[in-house]
Structure 1
Amino acid sequence: MTQPNTVNVQILDKEYCISCPQDERANLESAARYLDGKMREIRTSGKVIGADRVAVMAALNITHDLLHKQQRLDLQADSTREQVRDLLDRVDEALATDPDEARS
């Protein structure tokens, strides 16, 4: 029986009832499907035995992916900031140029 602010999800053949605001329901269900898929991949590989260990390995893999993507985003943001600074410098330089000197 589902209460108004709970969602039932299945992860590795086990059902969990989780409290969740209505507007986050779709995100929670998506996250549960993603986690279930990662855990199934790890379990299928046969290298890790036991649901607890599979869960920890899935958490480590997901966290690694998240941190790697965050690092890439940080590098892209730094690059974008540098490009914006360069463009602003060029605009400042162009505006500082005396129009009479440019005609000579």
Structure 2
Amino acid sequence: MSEPQTVILHILDKEYRVSCPPEERSNLEQAARHLDQTMRDIRNSGKVIGVERIAVMAALNISHDMLTGGRQKDVELNSQQQQITDLVSRLDQALARHQA
């Protein structure tokens, strides 16, 4: 793994210096852009005042999206696995009839 580098991130009009490995820089910058946009959306809604509260609401929204997205992927994966199992069973039955 490479030596960490300092990356400058801009989130809600503030500058943050964060150390990360060079191979993770792109992911870190993408995460910072996502956080910045989420925080700006919350601030612009006018319903939440204060940077700290905006940050907490953004963290909750992002965490919720991540968790519910993960659950949806699990449901889709289970459905796909069931479809594969059904197809294998049908193929086995068709092969058994063909060999008889």
- Normalising by structure 2, what TM-score? 0.89
Structure 2 segments unaligned to the other structure (5+ residues): none
User: What residue number does 1:54 align with?
Assistant: 54
Q: Distance in 1 between matches of 2:83 and 2:45?
A: 44
Q: Which runs of 4+ in 1 moved over 4 A?
A: none
Give identity over the alignment, percent: 56
User: What residue number does 1:26 align with?
Assistant: 26
User: What residue number does 1:39 align with?
Assistant: 39
User: What residue number does 1:15 align with?
Assistant: 15
Corresponding residue SS for 1:62: helix
Q: Distance in 1 between matches of 2:7 and 2:53?
A: 25
What amino acid is aligned across from residue 38 of structure 2 in structure 1? K
Q: Distance in 2 between matches of 1:6 and 1:97?
A: 66
Corresponding residue SS for 2:91: helix
Q: Deviation string for 1:40-75 (max 9, x for gaps)?
A: 111111111111100000011111111121111111
Q: Distance in 1 between matches of 2:47 and 2:97?
A: 67
Please state how far the C-alpha of 1:39 moved relative to its aligned partner: 0.4
Please tell me the root mean square deviation across aligned C-alpha atoms, in Å. 1.3
User: What residue number does 1:90 align with?
Assistant: 90
Structure 1 segments unaligned to the other structure (5+ residues): none
